[in-house]
Amino acid sequence: MTVRAGKAESRSRGGTAPTVTDPARIRNVVLVGPSGAGKTTLVEALLAHTGTIPRAGSITEGTTVGDHDPAAVRQQRSVALSVAPLMVPGPDGDTKINLVDTPGYGDFVGELRAGLRAADGALFVVPASAGREGDIDPATVTQWEECAAVGMPRAVVIARCDHPRADLEATITACQSAFGAGVAPLYLPLRKDDSLTGLYGLISQTPEGEAPPDADDARAALLEGIIEQSEDESLMERYLGGEEIDTATLIDDLETAVARGAFHPVVPVCASSDVGLDALLEVLVGGFPSPVEHARPAVSGIDGAARPPLSTDPDGPLAAEVVRTSADAYVGRVSLVRVFSGTLRPETSVHVSGHAPTPEGHTDNGADGGHDSDERIAHVYVPLGAQLREVDFLVAGDIGALTKLGSAETGDTISATSDPLLLSCWELPDPLLPVAVVARSRADEDALGRALARIVAADPTLRLERNAETHQTVLWCMGEAHADVVLSRLRAGGAEVDTEPVRVPLRATIRSAARVTGRHVKQSGGHGQYAVCHIEFTPLPRGSGFEFESKVVGGAVPTQFIPSVEKGVRAQLERGLTEDHHPVVDVKATLVDGKAHSVDSSDAAFQTAGALALREAGQACGTVLLEPLDEVAVRIPDEHLGAVLGDLSGRRGRVLGTDVGGAGRTVVRAEVPCTELLRYAVDLRAMTSGTASFTRRRARYEVAPS
Residue range 529-585, pLDDT digits in tens: 999 999 999 999 998 999 999 999 988 999 999 999 999 999 999 999 988 889 999
Helix crossing, 641-650 with 680-688: angle to 10°?
Answer: 150
Does a cis peptide bond (omega within 30 degrees of 0) precede residue 207? yes
* pLDDT on residue 525: 64
H/E stretch holding 184 reads strand 183-185
Check if the beta carbon of residue 452 is closer than 8 Å to that of residue 79: no
List per-block mean pLDDT (blocks of 10 residues) for the chain, which spans 706 residues.
38 55 96 92 94 69 45 56 92 93 89 93 95 81 88 95 89 93 93 86 91 92 92 89 91 92 95 94 95 94 92 96 86 92 96 68 43 92 89 96 91 95 89 96 90 87 92 95 94 91 95 95 81 96 94 92 96 91 95 92 95 95 94 95 96 96 91 97 93 93 90
**Predicted local distance difference test score (pLDDT) of residue 208:** 87
Q: Could you tell me the CATH superfamily of domain 299-423? A: Translation factors (2.40.30.10)
Residues 434-500: name the CATH superfamily: Elongation Factor G (Translational Gtpase), domain 3 (3.30.70.870)
pLDDT at res. 74: 44
What's the confidence (pLDDT) of residue 436? 97
Report which residue type is found at 416.
A
Name the 3-class secondary structure at 640.
helix
Q: What is the pLDDT of residue 163?
A: 86
Find the helix packing angle between 277-287 and 39-49, rounded to 10°: 90
pLDDT value of residue 357: 52
d(CA 420, CA 202): 51
Position 380 scores a pLDDT of 95
Q: Do domains 23-287 and 625-703 have the same CATH topology?
A: no
pLDDT for 642 equals 96
Residue 176 is predicted with a pLDDT of: 93
Phi, psi of 675 (to 5 degrees): -65, -20
pLDDT digits (tens, 9 = 90+) for 377-434: 999 999 997 789 999 999 999 999 999 898 899 999 999 999 999 999 888 889 999 9
State the alpha helices, DSSP H only, in 493-602: 562-575
**pLDDT score for 57:** 61
CATH number 3.30.230.10 is the correct assignment for the domain at 507-621: yes
Classified by CATH at the fold level, domain 625-703 comes out as: Alpha-Beta Plaits (3.30.70)
How do the domains of the chain map onto residue ranges? 23-287, 299-423, 434-500, 507-621, 625-703
Instruction: Tell me how far the alpha carbon of residue 495 is from its chain's centroid.
Output: 25
Confidence (pLDDT) at 134:
67
Per residue, what are the HEC states of 234-290?
HHHHHHHCCCCCCHHHHHHHHHHHHHCCCCEEEEECECCCCECHHHHHHHHHHHCCC
State pTM to two decimals: 0.85
SS3 call for 188: strand
Question: Identity (one letter) of the amino acid at 471?
Answer: H
pLDDT value of residue 370: 61
User: CA 523, CA 541: separation in Å to the nearest integer?
Assistant: 41
Class in CATH terms, 23-287: alpha beta
What does the pLDDT read at residue 365?
41
**Which pLDDT score is estimated for 60?**
38
